Structures are given as structure tokens and as C-alpha cells.
Amino acid sequence: MTAFEELKEYLFSLTIIDTHEHLPSSEEVRDRDTDVLKEYLAHYFNRDLISAGLPEEDYLKIIEEKMPIGEKWKMVEPYWEASRHTGYARVLDIAARDLYGIDGIGGETIEELNEKFLESLKPGHFKKVLKERCSIETSLLCVETLEEKYDPLEERSIHCDRDLYTPVFIINTYVHPGGWPDIRRVERESGVRITSFNAWLDATEASIDYAVQEGSCILKNSLAYVRSLNYETVTRREAEEAFNVVFNTKHIPDWHQQPAWPAKPFQDYMFHFILDIANRNNLIMQIHTGIQEGSGNLISNSNPEYLDKLILKYPDVVFDLFHIGYPYQNIVTVLAKNFPNVYIDMCWAHIVSPNASVLSLLEWFDTVPVNKISAFGGDYLFIDGVYGHQFLARENVARALSMKVEDGLFDIHRAKEIGKMLFYDNPKRIFRL
């Protein structure tokens, strides 16, 4: 047995922690009016297909219209073949193979795959995939808004299946509210009437307090999709002025064009305000850095080098940097090396680029303490993707570790110990699970 084979066998036997998911909050609420292409092309691989030339209109037909699965396949086939070797594509082939016994997704197999996929819509599939097939102890789940946690009839409770998930509270709306609909939502979520900028600060604090009370010490900022990670130090007055530009439009009727969002000084101030709360309560802040999902965005907005100021200023916040910052992984490496409160999170990374993930691991074994890396977060909207992703993650980590064993940096026993730290011990400790 080679070192790679031995490490692969060992890593595939481990129970692991999943640091990041967007799955339905419970199996009951999953979309059942679906087919295998609608589900598998909900995100990620659809972007490779569009990049390869699939027209957007054809993509929308696949997602929105009912038609025989063979017809849908014909629309995507040339682009699928062109993208077949990307990490996103490999995940789908692995899931089809191991969950449904289908050898390669293609024109010959798509009908059978779809039939088997439709059978998996029966209750029990989530537990089977996450627990039995992936051996995931818990998955950190993004609860998109606090509102989801509120049952209007019952007392408030964080709404997700706690047998499968641990909730993470997304703070985006509090930093970057999209005009009045979001302001009203914050009122409902926090129970605080927004009458001023001061009230907005009170509402923010109330919502975070509630999330913490309900067992979520993990917050998440994914605003690098819409703005830069450069959160500057601004005065309260500048922030309040920016807030009032939107706040003073309350009289504008719904049918009239509504204001967008408060300008950057407000956003900057609010993220500092939230980090200050997090710093006082020793909370964890997961931050999206690097590549944005979707077709086309400003990649420079996701550059993590701007985070150094925040990391210095709030030493009692645990900063968990997502997606290895790809393509800025070297910057993430230096941040994790130099700051005790920065950790590297490989969520999404193994499928964005299996190769960059292996190379980054090789780099980190030379530069970063091994207790600072979490090896896996599925980051999927649909359940079968998690299976394919954890498969690639275990394989990539085995590959990188085995290369260092062959180089003589450490022996196979130490390699196994490091593998278990990356997949289990580190996330368990970092996220206090």
C-alpha cells in the first residue's frame, strides 16, 4: 500500500465536522417539485456551463420549466462535456456513482439517474447522506435571516434541524440593509422599532444577543459579494448621516422607486460595531473571502488583505476566513501565520480548485501551525453535493499529506494525526462544538 492509499483509507474512516452549509433548514422543506438537473444545476456547476457557452435563457428553462430530462440533457450536453473535469463537475459524478450507482453522468445514464434521484426525495435521504455516507457529526448552517428563527405562533426558536446542523447567524442585513424592506425586517427580527440610527444599533445588539442565547456563537459576513472587505474607521456622525439618507425616505410609497442602501460609511461603522460586540463576547466571525459564486463579479472586492486592520483591532474575535481566499490564498496564509485569532477554512475550496487546495495544504504544512486549519465545509444548497465534496476533500488532504510523507517531513502516523486535526479536532475546538 502506498502512503496515499493508506492515508486515504484512514481519512475516509473519520467522523468529520462540516464548517459551512446552505442546505434546507430541515429535510421537510426541501424542494420536491424537481428533477436531477434542476437540483444539481441550482448553483456552482451551472456557472461552469454558462462560462462554457450555455445561454442564460436555456439555463433558466432547465431550472424553471417542466420537460423530459432527456431534452434538458441535450441543451447542456456540449457545455457539460467541455466542463466535465472541473471540481464542480467531479462532485456530481462522484455523487451519482456512490449514491445511485451511476457510472458517469451522460446521455446514456441521465434517465436512470433521474429516476433514482426522484426516489431519494423520500424522507430519510438527508440523514442517510450526512450521517451514514459522509459521517458528519454536525454541519454549521447559515440561517439566512433571523426571521427564519421566529415562529410567529410559537415562542422564538432557531429554526433548523439540530440533529443535523449548528446554526450560524448572518449579519449582512445589519451592515448592508437594502432599503425599507430590510429595515422593516430588522424591526420584526429584533423587536426594536427603528426610529433613528440609535435604534438601529439597539436592534443589531438585540438580534445578536438573541442568536447567542439560542446557541449560535458564530456570526457570518458574506458581503464581499456586494462591497469591498475594506471596512474603514469612520465617525459615528458620518455613519448616522449615511443612514439618514435612506431613513428619511420613509414617506415614499411602495409603488415608487425606493432608495437603495446606506452608503459605505454606514456599512463600515456597522461592521466595526458588530465586531466590537463580538470582541466583548468572544464570538466567532466567519468571513467570505475570495471567489464569488455566480457569473461575473468584482473579484478585488473579496481581497482579504484589507482584513488585517480589523484583525488587529479586535483580538478577541476568532476570524474564520472562508474559501482559502482563492485566488488570494497566499494572503490568507500570511494572516493565519501572523495572527493568533485567524483560522483558515477550506469550505468550498476543494471543488473550486482541487489542485489549488492540494498546493495550499503543501504550503501550509511549511508555514502555518496545523491546529489552525479546518479541512471541510460543503457550502452546498443541495444535499448530494455535500457527499461529492467531502469525498474530494478527503482525497485532496490524503494527497497533500502523502506528498509530505514521501518528502520525509513527517511519518505516516503523524500524517494521520494531522488529518484528524484538520477534519475533526480543529473545527470542534475552533467552533466550540
Contact positions vs Zn ion (CB under 5 A): 379
Smallest gap from Cβ 18 to Zn ion, in A, equals 12
Cell numbers for 320, please give them: 474564520
Backbone angles phi, psi at 48, to 5 degrees: -65, -40
Question: In terms of CB distance, is 102 or 351 closer to Zn ion?
Answer: 351
Question: In terms of CB distance, is 48 or 379 closer to Zn ion?
Answer: 379
Question: In terms of CB distance, is 18 or 379 closer to Zn ion?
Answer: 379
| Cell 456586494 -> residue | 226
Smallest gap from Cβ 379 to Zn ion, in A, equals 4
| Cα 204 from chain centroid (whole Å) | 22
Cell numbers for 404, please give them: 509530505
d(CA 395, CA 11) in angstroms, rounded, equals 8
Question: In terms of CB distance, is 44 or 424 closer to Zn ion?
Answer: 44
Measured from each CB, the residue nearest to Zn ion is 379
Question: In terms of CB distance, is 268 or 379 closer to Zn ion?
Answer: 379
Residue closest to 315 by CA, chosen among 276, 345, 286: 276
CB 273 within 8 A of CB 201: yes
Smallest gap from Cβ 360 to Zn ion, in A, equals 18
- 10 Å CB burial of residue 263 (0-12, 13-18, 19+) is middle
- Before 327, cis peptide (omega within 30)? yes
Smallest gap from Cβ 59 to Zn ion, in A, equals 21
Smallest gap from Cβ 432 to Zn ion, in A, equals 20
Cα 38 to Cα 41, 92, 104, 284, distances in angstroms = 5, 13, 18, 35
Question: In terms of CB distance, is 114 or 390 closer to Zn ion?
Answer: 390
Q: Give the angle subtended at the CA of 322 by the CAs of 316 and 326, to the nearest 5°.
A: 130
CB 362 within 8 A of CB 415: no
CB 345 within 8 A of CB 20: yes
Question: In terms of CB distance, is 35 or 379 closer to Zn ion?
Answer: 379
Question: In terms of CB distance, is 240 or 379 closer to Zn ion?
Answer: 379
Question: In terms of CB distance, is 23 or 398 closer to Zn ion?
Answer: 23
d(CA 96, CA 114) in angstroms, rounded, equals 10
d(CA 165, CA 369) in angstroms, rounded, equals 28
Smallest gap from Cβ 267 to Zn ion, in A, equals 20
Is residue 220 within a helix (H) or strand (E), and if so which, with residue range? Answer: strand 218-221
Smallest gap from Cβ 130 to Zn ion, in A, equals 17
Smallest gap from Cβ 244 to Zn ion, in A, equals 33
Residue closest to 382 by CA, chosen among 19, 28, 41: 41
Question: In terms of CB distance, is 76 or 347 closer to Zn ion?
Answer: 347
| Cell 511549511 -> residue | 366
Smallest gap from Cβ 389 to Zn ion, in A, equals 12
d(CA 275, CA 282) in angstroms, rounded, equals 10
Smallest gap from Cβ 286 to Zn ion, in A, equals 9
What single-letter amino acid sits at 133? R
Smallest gap from Cβ 329 to Zn ion, in A, equals 17
Is residue 141 within a helix (H) or strand (E), and if so which, with residue range? Answer: strand 136-143
Question: In terms of CB distance, is 139 or 426 closer to Zn ion?
Answer: 139
Cell numbers for 26, please give them: 430541515
**How many C-beta atoms lie closer than 10 Å to residue 240's C-beta?**
19
